[in-house]
Amino acid sequence: MDGEKVTMARPSKYDPEQHPQWAEGLAKLGKTEAEIAVEFGVNVDTITNWKKSHPEFLVSLKVGKSAADVKVEASLYKRALGYDLDVLETTEYPDGGLQVKKTTKHIAPDTTAQIFWLKNRKPDEWRDKQQTEITGKDGGPILLNNLSDEEVERRAREILSKRQ
């Protein structure tokens, strides 16, 4: 050992029996990796290292995140379309009696949820920025060689007026 450098690493806090299941459960609740790190009492870099060195931990995180994402997607879809909600209404009478009545409340579709859904699912049709391409005759280039600034402006206005 003469002349050799010996480095000692701290023992890992990783517990293969508990951490994967715990991470999956926290991810299903929508916790971020930073929040999961706090729950484990480690730095978020440790979570990153555990994902690299413990495949079962990475898979558990992915499963948990996927389950949370599916719930949110379903809720967004439901909110975009609107839905009916069963509500229990309780009436208390002066004599101490109670009446419980089940009613159905309609939750109207949410325009913001619809827009969000469509922008993400059909971005070519629903993006905010629309692109318009102007071409010359038969799809060729617009030739502006040797034209005065006034002539270029006149032709541009002419082309744009035909597009409207």
d(CA 69, CA 74): 9
Q: Do residues 142 and 136 lie in contact, with contact meaning Cβ atoms separated by under 8 Å?
A: yes
Could you tell me how far CA 161 lies from the centroid of its own chain? 40
Residue 1 CB-half CA count within 13 A: 3
Residue 132 pLDDT exceeds 80: no
Domain boundaries, the chain: 15-79, 82-130, 132-164
pTM for the model stands at: 0.60
Residue 133 pLDDT exceeds 90: no
Kindly write down the DSSP assignment for every residue of 28-90, as one continuous string.
HTT--HHHHHHHHTS-HHHHHHHHHH-HHHHHHHHHHHHHHHHHHHHHHHHHHH-EEEEEEEE
**pLDDT at 159 (0 to 100):** 78
CB burial readout 21-37, b (16+ within 10 A) else e = ebbbebbbeebebeebb
CB atoms within 10 A of CB 92: 9
pLDDT-derived band at 81 (thresholds 50, 70, 90) equals very high
> What is the three-class DSSP state of 117?
helix
Residue 27 CB-half CA count within 13 A: 21
Q: What is the mean pLDDT of residues 55-80?
A: 95
**pLDDT at 148 (0 to 100):** 82
Question: What are 141-153's pLDDT values in tens digits?
Answer: 777 677 788 888 8
**pLDDT at 5 (0 to 100):** 63
Residue 1 pLDDT exceeds 60: no
